[in-house]
Structure 1
Amino acid sequence: MSDLVIYQDNGPLATPIARRFAAARGTKKAGRMSWLVPPLLRALEYGAYVALALLFEPDALPACFALMCALAFHHYDVVYRLRHQRSSPPQWVRFAGGGWELRLPIACVLAAVGWLELGMIVAAIALGTFFVAESVNSWRRFTQPASLYEDEEDEEE
Protein backbone atom coordinates (compact mmCIF):
# COMPACT_ATOMS: atom_id res chain seq x y z
CA MET A 1 0.00 0.00 0.00
CA SER A 2 1.45 3.38 -0.96
CA ASP A 3 2.10 6.19 1.51
CA LEU A 4 -0.47 8.39 -0.24
CA VAL A 5 -3.18 5.77 0.22
CA ILE A 6 -2.35 5.43 3.91
CA TYR A 7 -2.35 9.19 4.47
CA GLN A 8 -5.76 9.64 2.83
CA ASP A 9 -7.37 8.27 6.00
CA ASN A 10 -9.82 6.14 4.09
CA GLY A 11 -12.00 4.05 6.31
CA PRO A 12 -13.64 0.71 5.60
CA LEU A 13 -15.76 1.99 2.69
CA ALA A 14 -13.67 4.41 0.62
CA THR A 15 -10.92 2.05 -0.52
CA PRO A 16 -13.19 -0.60 -2.10
CA ILE A 17 -15.38 2.09 -3.67
CA ALA A 18 -12.35 3.89 -5.14
CA ARG A 19 -11.01 0.62 -6.56
CA ARG A 20 -14.33 -0.07 -8.28
CA PHE A 21 -14.49 3.41 -9.81
CA ALA A 22 -10.87 3.18 -10.98
CA ALA A 23 -11.47 -0.26 -12.49
CA ALA A 24 -14.64 0.92 -14.21
CA ARG A 25 -12.88 3.95 -15.68
CA GLY A 26 -9.71 2.03 -16.50
CA THR A 27 -7.54 4.65 -14.82
CA LYS A 28 -4.12 4.36 -13.28
CA LYS A 29 -3.81 4.30 -9.50
CA ALA A 30 -1.27 7.09 -9.22
CA GLY A 31 -0.55 10.00 -11.48
CA ARG A 32 1.54 13.13 -11.40
CA MET A 33 -1.03 14.96 -9.30
CA SER A 34 -1.91 12.13 -6.90
CA TRP A 35 0.00 13.85 -4.10
CA LEU A 36 -2.80 16.44 -4.01
CA VAL A 37 -5.49 13.96 -2.99
CA PRO A 38 -4.72 13.73 0.77
CA PRO A 39 -4.51 17.49 1.42
CA LEU A 40 -7.65 18.09 -0.63
CA LEU A 41 -9.49 15.44 1.36
CA ARG A 42 -8.34 17.12 4.59
CA ALA A 43 -9.48 20.55 3.38
CA LEU A 44 -12.87 19.22 2.27
CA GLU A 45 -13.44 17.23 5.46
CA TYR A 46 -12.41 20.03 7.82
CA GLY A 47 -14.24 22.65 5.75
CA ALA A 48 -17.40 20.55 5.84
CA TYR A 49 -17.23 20.31 9.64
CA VAL A 50 -16.85 24.08 9.98
CA ALA A 51 -19.67 24.70 7.47
CA LEU A 52 -22.00 22.30 9.29
CA ALA A 53 -21.23 23.96 12.61
CA LEU A 54 -21.74 27.47 11.22
CA LEU A 55 -24.97 26.62 9.40
CA PHE A 56 -26.69 24.39 11.95
CA GLU A 57 -25.22 25.11 15.40
CA PRO A 58 -22.86 28.09 15.66
CA ASP A 59 -22.30 27.23 19.33
CA ALA A 60 -20.73 23.95 18.17
CA LEU A 61 -17.62 25.66 16.75
CA PRO A 62 -15.42 24.90 19.79
CA ALA A 63 -16.46 21.24 19.60
CA CYS A 64 -15.80 21.31 15.86
CA PHE A 65 -12.26 22.57 16.40
CA ALA A 66 -11.68 19.99 19.13
CA LEU A 67 -12.71 17.26 16.67
CA MET A 68 -10.44 18.70 13.98
CA CYS A 69 -7.60 18.80 16.51
CA ALA A 70 -8.01 15.08 17.23
CA LEU A 71 -8.10 14.29 13.51
CA ALA A 72 -5.11 16.52 12.73
CA PHE A 73 -3.12 14.76 15.46
CA HIS A 74 -3.89 11.43 13.81
CA HIS A 75 -2.94 12.69 10.35
CA TYR A 76 0.38 14.09 11.58
CA ASP A 77 1.04 10.86 13.46
CA VAL A 78 0.51 8.89 10.25
CA VAL A 79 2.96 11.10 8.35
CA TYR A 80 5.69 10.97 10.98
CA ARG A 81 5.19 7.27 11.61
CA LEU A 82 5.74 6.62 7.90
CA ARG A 83 8.75 8.91 7.91
CA HIS A 84 10.54 7.68 11.03
CA GLN A 85 9.25 4.20 11.78
CA ARG A 86 8.82 3.23 8.13
CA SER A 87 5.51 1.58 9.01
CA SER A 88 1.88 2.51 8.74
CA PRO A 89 -0.72 2.34 11.49
CA PRO A 90 -2.44 -1.04 11.78
CA GLN A 91 -5.50 -1.63 9.61
CA TRP A 92 -7.77 -1.79 12.67
CA VAL A 93 -6.85 1.83 13.51
CA ARG A 94 -8.16 2.95 10.13
CA PHE A 95 -11.39 1.02 10.67
CA ALA A 96 -11.85 2.18 14.27
CA GLY A 97 -11.28 5.80 13.26
CA GLY A 98 -14.06 5.50 10.72
CA GLY A 99 -12.36 7.34 7.90
CA TRP A 100 -13.62 10.55 6.37
CA GLU A 101 -16.30 8.68 4.39
CA LEU A 102 -18.05 7.60 7.60
CA ARG A 103 -17.36 10.63 9.80
CA LEU A 104 -18.83 13.17 7.36
CA PRO A 105 -22.22 11.48 6.83
CA ILE A 106 -22.52 10.92 10.57
CA ALA A 107 -21.85 14.63 11.14
CA CYS A 108 -24.52 15.50 8.55
CA VAL A 109 -27.08 13.26 10.27
CA LEU A 110 -26.18 14.75 13.66
CA ALA A 111 -26.61 18.26 12.25
CA ALA A 112 -29.99 17.34 10.78
CA VAL A 113 -31.32 16.02 14.09
CA GLY A 114 -29.81 18.87 16.14
CA TRP A 115 -27.15 16.90 18.00
CA LEU A 116 -24.10 18.23 16.18
CA GLU A 117 -22.42 19.82 19.19
CA LEU A 118 -22.86 16.78 21.42
CA GLY A 119 -21.78 14.44 18.62
CA MET A 120 -18.64 16.46 17.92
CA ILE A 121 -17.75 16.57 21.62
CA VAL A 122 -18.17 12.81 21.95
CA ALA A 123 -16.24 12.19 18.71
CA ALA A 124 -13.43 14.55 19.73
CA ILE A 125 -13.02 12.87 23.12
CA ALA A 126 -13.34 9.32 21.79
CA LEU A 127 -11.16 9.73 18.69
CA GLY A 128 -8.63 11.92 20.48
CA THR A 129 -8.21 9.42 23.30
CA PHE A 130 -8.05 6.50 20.88
CA PHE A 131 -5.56 8.11 18.48
CA VAL A 132 -3.28 9.42 21.24
CA ALA A 133 -3.25 6.10 23.11
CA GLU A 134 -2.50 4.11 19.96
CA SER A 135 0.18 6.58 18.89
CA VAL A 136 1.91 6.54 22.28
CA ASN A 137 1.84 2.75 22.25
CA SER A 138 3.36 2.66 18.76
CA TRP A 139 6.13 5.14 19.52
CA ARG A 140 7.01 3.39 22.78
CA ARG A 141 7.50 0.10 20.91
CA PHE A 142 9.62 1.76 18.27
CA THR A 143 13.36 1.61 18.78
CA GLN A 144 15.81 3.50 16.68
CA PRO A 145 17.91 1.11 14.58
CA ALA A 146 21.63 1.09 15.24
CA SER A 147 23.68 3.32 13.01
CA LEU A 148 25.45 1.58 10.17
CA TYR A 149 28.22 4.17 10.21
CA GLU A 150 31.02 3.73 12.69
CA ASP A 151 33.46 6.52 13.23
CA GLU A 152 37.00 5.16 13.11
CA GLU A 153 38.44 8.24 14.81
CA ASP A 154 36.58 7.48 18.03
CA GLU A 155 38.37 4.17 18.47
CA GLU A 156 41.36 4.21 20.76
CA GLU A 157 44.49 2.43 19.63
Structure 2
Amino acid sequence: MIAVHMTPVPRSVVVAYRDDGPLSKAMGLLVAGQIPPLPPALAGAFVTGILLVLGVAGAQDLAVLAPAVTLLLAGAGSSHRHDGRLDWLVPPVLRITEYGFVASAGFARHVWPPLVLVLLGAMAFHHYDTVYRVRQHVYPPPWLASAGLGWDGRMLVLAFGGLLGLMPVAFVLLAAYLWGLFCWESLTCWLAAPRVTVEPVEVGVPE
Protein backbone atom coordinates (compact mmCIF):
# COMPACT_ATOMS: atom_id res chain seq x y z
CA MET A 1 0.00 0.00 0.00
CA ILE A 2 1.32 3.45 -0.91
CA ALA A 3 0.97 6.32 1.55
CA VAL A 4 -0.13 9.56 -0.08
CA HIS A 5 1.48 12.51 1.68
CA MET A 6 -0.25 15.32 -0.17
CA THR A 7 -1.26 16.55 3.29
CA PRO A 8 0.39 16.10 6.70
CA VAL A 9 -0.17 12.77 8.41
CA PRO A 10 -2.60 13.26 11.33
CA ARG A 11 -1.01 12.96 14.75
CA SER A 12 -3.69 10.40 15.59
CA VAL A 13 -6.17 8.48 13.49
CA VAL A 14 -8.83 8.96 16.15
CA VAL A 15 -8.29 12.73 16.13
CA ALA A 16 -8.80 12.74 12.35
CA TYR A 17 -12.15 10.99 12.85
CA ARG A 18 -13.41 13.60 15.36
CA ASP A 19 -14.20 16.24 12.72
CA ASP A 20 -13.77 19.18 15.10
CA GLY A 21 -14.62 22.68 13.95
CA PRO A 22 -12.77 25.89 14.82
CA LEU A 23 -14.64 26.42 18.10
CA SER A 24 -13.99 22.91 19.37
CA LYS A 25 -10.33 23.12 18.38
CA ALA A 26 -9.96 26.45 20.17
CA MET A 27 -11.35 24.92 23.36
CA GLY A 28 -8.84 22.10 23.07
CA LEU A 29 -5.97 24.53 22.69
CA LEU A 30 -6.98 26.29 25.90
CA VAL A 31 -6.26 23.16 27.93
CA ALA A 32 -3.22 22.14 25.84
CA GLY A 33 -4.24 18.49 25.58
CA GLN A 34 -4.31 17.94 29.33
CA ILE A 35 -7.91 16.69 29.48
CA PRO A 36 -8.67 13.10 28.41
CA PRO A 37 -11.18 13.20 25.54
CA LEU A 38 -13.68 10.52 26.53
CA PRO A 39 -15.12 11.91 29.83
CA PRO A 40 -16.10 15.34 28.44
CA ALA A 41 -17.49 13.75 25.27
CA LEU A 42 -19.65 11.36 27.28
CA ALA A 43 -20.77 14.12 29.65
CA GLY A 44 -21.68 16.44 26.80
CA ALA A 45 -23.48 13.70 24.89
CA PHE A 46 -25.42 12.61 27.99
CA VAL A 47 -26.67 16.10 28.83
CA THR A 48 -27.38 16.85 25.16
CA GLY A 49 -29.38 13.64 24.88
CA ILE A 50 -31.50 14.58 27.90
CA LEU A 51 -32.15 18.03 26.43
CA LEU A 52 -33.24 16.50 23.13
CA VAL A 53 -35.58 14.08 24.89
CA LEU A 54 -37.11 17.05 26.70
CA GLY A 55 -37.82 18.67 23.34
CA VAL A 56 -35.37 21.55 23.59
CA ALA A 57 -34.57 21.25 19.87
CA GLY A 58 -38.03 22.62 19.14
CA ALA A 59 -37.80 25.57 21.55
CA GLN A 60 -38.51 29.05 20.24
CA ASP A 61 -36.04 30.89 22.49
CA LEU A 62 -32.37 30.70 23.47
CA ALA A 63 -32.96 27.23 24.90
CA VAL A 64 -32.58 25.85 21.37
CA LEU A 65 -28.87 26.63 21.64
CA ALA A 66 -28.47 24.51 24.77
CA PRO A 67 -27.76 21.12 23.10
CA ALA A 68 -25.06 22.52 20.81
CA VAL A 69 -23.46 24.57 23.58
CA THR A 70 -23.56 21.62 25.99
CA LEU A 71 -21.83 19.27 23.57
CA LEU A 72 -19.01 21.81 23.30
CA LEU A 73 -17.78 20.22 26.52
CA ALA A 74 -16.30 17.59 24.21
CA GLY A 75 -14.16 20.26 22.58
CA ALA A 76 -11.93 20.38 25.64
CA GLY A 77 -10.47 17.02 24.66
CA SER A 78 -9.86 17.83 20.99
CA SER A 79 -6.13 18.54 21.40
CA HIS A 80 -5.43 15.31 23.30
CA ARG A 81 -3.52 12.56 21.50
CA HIS A 82 -6.43 10.13 21.95
CA ASP A 83 -4.07 7.31 22.85
CA GLY A 84 -6.16 5.90 25.68
CA ARG A 85 -7.61 2.41 25.55
CA LEU A 86 -11.19 3.65 25.07
CA ASP A 87 -10.54 6.93 23.28
CA TRP A 88 -11.68 5.36 20.00
CA LEU A 89 -15.22 5.73 21.38
CA VAL A 90 -15.09 9.53 21.12
CA PRO A 91 -15.84 9.87 17.36
CA PRO A 92 -18.88 7.53 17.50
CA VAL A 93 -20.21 9.45 20.51
CA LEU A 94 -19.87 12.73 18.62
CA ARG A 95 -21.45 11.28 15.48
CA ILE A 96 -24.49 9.84 17.28
CA THR A 97 -25.06 13.06 19.20
CA GLU A 98 -24.68 15.29 16.15
CA TYR A 99 -26.95 13.14 13.98
CA GLY A 100 -29.49 12.95 16.80
CA PHE A 101 -29.53 16.73 17.14
CA VAL A 102 -29.95 17.26 13.40
CA ALA A 103 -32.84 14.81 13.21
CA SER A 104 -34.49 16.19 16.35
CA ALA A 105 -34.16 19.80 15.21
CA GLY A 106 -35.53 19.01 11.77
CA PHE A 107 -38.52 16.96 12.87
CA ALA A 108 -39.35 19.29 15.78
CA ARG A 109 -39.56 22.23 13.35
CA HIS A 110 -41.48 20.23 10.73
CA VAL A 111 -38.69 20.36 8.17
CA TRP A 112 -39.48 18.27 5.09
CA PRO A 113 -38.19 14.77 6.05
CA PRO A 114 -36.28 14.17 2.78
CA LEU A 115 -34.42 17.43 3.41
CA VAL A 116 -33.39 16.18 6.84
CA LEU A 117 -32.08 13.01 5.21
CA VAL A 118 -30.20 15.02 2.59
CA LEU A 119 -28.32 16.93 5.29
CA LEU A 120 -27.63 13.78 7.28
CA GLY A 121 -26.43 12.16 4.07
CA ALA A 122 -23.91 14.94 3.45
CA MET A 123 -22.44 14.51 6.91
CA ALA A 124 -22.44 10.71 6.68
CA PHE A 125 -20.72 10.87 3.28
CA HIS A 126 -17.98 13.08 4.71
CA HIS A 127 -17.44 10.90 7.75
CA TYR A 128 -17.35 7.67 5.73
CA ASP A 129 -15.01 9.26 3.20
CA THR A 130 -12.68 10.34 5.99
CA VAL A 131 -12.58 6.86 7.51
CA TYR A 132 -11.90 5.21 4.15
CA ARG A 133 -9.24 7.74 3.17
CA VAL A 134 -7.35 7.40 6.43
CA ARG A 135 -7.34 3.63 6.01
CA GLN A 136 -5.87 4.10 2.53
CA HIS A 137 -3.35 6.68 3.82
CA VAL A 138 -4.97 9.36 1.66
CA TYR A 139 -5.27 11.89 4.44
CA PRO A 140 -7.82 14.72 4.33
CA PRO A 141 -6.31 18.23 4.39
CA PRO A 142 -6.27 19.99 7.78
CA TRP A 143 -8.53 22.78 6.53
CA LEU A 144 -11.37 20.45 5.55
CA ALA A 145 -12.86 20.02 9.02
CA SER A 146 -12.88 23.78 9.56
CA ALA A 147 -14.34 24.48 6.12
CA GLY A 148 -17.02 21.88 6.85
CA LEU A 149 -17.73 23.78 10.10
CA GLY A 150 -17.09 20.70 12.23
CA TRP A 151 -19.74 18.98 14.32
CA ASP A 152 -19.83 22.01 16.60
CA GLY A 153 -20.31 24.56 13.83
CA ARG A 154 -23.01 22.56 12.06
CA MET A 155 -25.01 22.17 15.25
CA LEU A 156 -24.72 25.88 16.01
CA VAL A 157 -25.83 26.85 12.49
CA LEU A 158 -29.01 24.82 12.89
CA ALA A 159 -29.54 26.10 16.43
CA PHE A 160 -29.33 29.71 15.28
CA GLY A 161 -31.59 28.85 12.36
CA GLY A 162 -34.17 27.62 14.83
CA LEU A 163 -33.72 30.68 17.03
CA LEU A 164 -34.39 32.96 14.05
CA GLY A 165 -37.32 30.87 12.85
CA LEU A 166 -35.44 29.89 9.68
CA MET A 167 -34.81 26.21 10.31
CA PRO A 168 -35.88 25.00 6.81
CA VAL A 169 -33.66 27.65 5.22
CA ALA A 170 -30.76 26.61 7.44
CA PHE A 171 -31.22 22.99 6.38
CA VAL A 172 -31.28 23.88 2.68
CA LEU A 173 -28.24 26.16 2.79
CA LEU A 174 -26.20 23.87 5.02
CA ALA A 175 -26.99 20.76 2.96
CA ALA A 176 -26.13 22.48 -0.32
CA TYR A 177 -22.89 23.88 1.08
CA LEU A 178 -21.73 20.61 2.64
CA TRP A 179 -22.55 18.44 -0.37
CA GLY A 180 -20.74 20.86 -2.67
CA LEU A 181 -17.69 21.14 -0.43
CA PHE A 182 -17.31 17.47 0.48
CA CYS A 183 -17.94 16.11 -3.02
CA TRP A 184 -15.56 18.61 -4.64
CA GLU A 185 -12.77 18.04 -2.13
CA SER A 186 -13.14 14.26 -2.14
CA LEU A 187 -13.18 14.07 -5.94
CA THR A 188 -10.12 16.28 -6.39
CA CYS A 189 -8.22 14.42 -3.67
CA TRP A 190 -8.89 10.96 -5.08
CA LEU A 191 -8.06 12.09 -8.62
CA ALA A 192 -4.72 13.44 -7.37
CA ALA A 193 -3.85 10.28 -5.45
CA PRO A 194 -1.30 8.06 -7.23
CA ARG A 195 -2.54 4.73 -8.41
CA VAL A 196 -0.80 1.43 -8.04
CA THR A 197 -0.44 -0.40 -11.34
CA VAL A 198 0.38 -4.06 -11.59
CA GLU A 199 2.51 -5.11 -14.54
CA PRO A 200 1.42 -8.32 -16.22
CA VAL A 201 3.77 -11.23 -15.67
CA GLU A 202 4.31 -13.78 -18.39
CA VAL A 203 4.35 -17.30 -17.11
CA GLY A 204 6.21 -19.73 -19.25
CA VAL A 205 4.55 -23.04 -20.04
CA PRO A 206 6.97 -25.95 -19.93
CA GLU A 207 7.16 -27.85 -23.20
Q: What's the secondary structure of 1:137's corresponding residue?
A: helix
Is residue 6 from structure 1 mapped to residue 16 from structure 2 by the alignment?
Answer: yes
- Distance in 1, Cα, partners of 2:86 & 2:36: 17
**Corresponding residue number in structure 1 for 2:162:** 111
State which of 128, 135, 142 in structure 2 corresponds to 1:76. 128
- Distance in 2, Cα, partners of 1:26 & 1:34: 8
Is residue 89 from structure 1 mapped to residue 99 from structure 2 by the alignment?
Answer: no
**Corresponding residue number in structure 2 for 1:47:** 100
**Corresponding residue number in structure 2 for 1:143:** 194
Following superposition, the deviation at residue 13 of structure 1 comes to 2.2
**Corresponding residue number in structure 2 for 1:124:** 175
Could you tell me the percent identity over the aligned residues? 32
RMSD: 2.4
Is residue 98 from structure 1 mapped to residue 108 from structure 2 by the alignment?
Answer: no
Aligned length in residues: 152
**CA 1:14 to 1:133, structure 2 compared with 1: closer, same or farther past 3 Å?**
same
More helix as a share of residues = 1
Following superposition, the deviation at residue 60 of structure 1 comes to 3.9
Q: What's the secondary structure of 1:90's corresponding residue?
A: coil
1:24-67 residue CA offsets vs partner (Å, 9 max, x unmatched): 54886321111111111000001011111222x12343322211
Query: Contact conserved, 2:14 with 2:91, CA < 8 A, in 1?
Result: yes
Query: Contact conserved, 1:60 with 1:116, CA < 8 A, in 2?
Result: no
Q: TM-score, normalized by length of structure 2?
A: 0.65
Amino acid at match of 1:66: V
- Distance in 2, Cα, partners of 1:127 & 1:42: 16
Q: What's the secondary structure of 2:194's corresponding residue?
A: coil
**CA 1:60 to 1:112, structure 2 compared with 1: closer, same or farther past 3 Å?**
farther
**Corresponding residue number in structure 1 for 2:91:** 38
**CA 1:11 to 1:26, structure 2 compared with 1: closer, same or farther past 3 Å?**
closer
- Distance in 2, Cα, partners of 1:136 & 1:39: 25
Query: Contact conserved, 2:129 with 2:186, CA < 8 A, in 1?
Result: yes
**CA 1:32 to 1:67, structure 2 compared with 1: closer, same or farther past 3 Å?**
same
Query: Contact conserved, 1:7 with 1:75, CA < 8 A, in 2?
Result: yes
1:122-144 residue CA offsets vs partner (Å, 9 max, x unmatched): 11111101100111111111122
Which runs of 5 or more residues in structure 1 are unaligned? none
1:94-126 residue CA offsets vs partner (Å, 9 max, x unmatched): 221110111111211101111111111111111
Q: TM-score, normalized by length of structure 1?
A: 0.84
